[in-house]
Amino acid sequence: MIIAAADGSALGNPGPAGWAWYVDDERWAAGGWKHSTNNVGELTAVLELFRATAHLDDELLVQCDSQYVINSVTKWMPGWKRKGWRKADGKPVMNVEILKELDAELVGRRYRFEWVKGHVGHPMNEAADERARAAAEAFKSGRPVPSGPGWSDGGERVASGPEIDEAVDEIDDTADDAVSDADEVPATLFDLDEAPDAWQTLTVELSTEEHERLVQRARAEGVSPEEFLRGLI
């Protein structure tokens, strides 16, 4: 069984916000937004935990201090789905897009939730809370967000918030290395005299860490990794 804690934090609620899941010091992840709510952070932490462990067959025990998240998943979601993602009073369910994504991730998974009281010194909950708050603080101050090693990486990854300079530098370095290693270096990468609708194929090799960072930033922008990468180029 995998035991993990998931938590969210919003400064001002709404305000700069973060999410985090935590298993141990070698397996955790965090992220956030410039402006969101605590409930979004809590839901996203659980969603990202299920995504990070999707390749595993272990039962997942999620420790969570949010009754809203636990009830949403274990009690309310089936009824919301039957009503077309509407509540008993007919009003639309809040945070429905995240809930739909979470619902899809739950299919075929073995899991259960455990409510823990927050801010009373529970080690796992405190670890997740500290990381979620650190992400929110980073977005508030414009500093790089400590995003954690994820499930399998060895070291901590640092992903910037709104800035993409680091991602551009990494992609540029990777492209430069690929060109320098080639047997024949073309005079130009693209022929600017081609028709405007012409397409070119560019292959960029990324490490696992770089790819995960690209995916996180694409999610933050609400686009696919391919679209995000194309925008950088």
Active site members: 7-8, 42, 65, 119, 129
Displacement of CA 195 from its chain's centroid (Å): 38
Coil, helix or strand for 95? coil
Mode of pairing for the β-strands spanning 15-24 and 2-10: antiparallel
Helix (H) or strand (E) holding 16: strand 15-24
What are the residues facing 29 on neighbouring strands? 21
d(CA 24, CA 83): 39
> If we measure between CA atoms, which residue out of 118, 161, 144 comes closest to residue 8?
118
* Nearest partner of 73 among 32, 37, 114, judged by Cα: 114
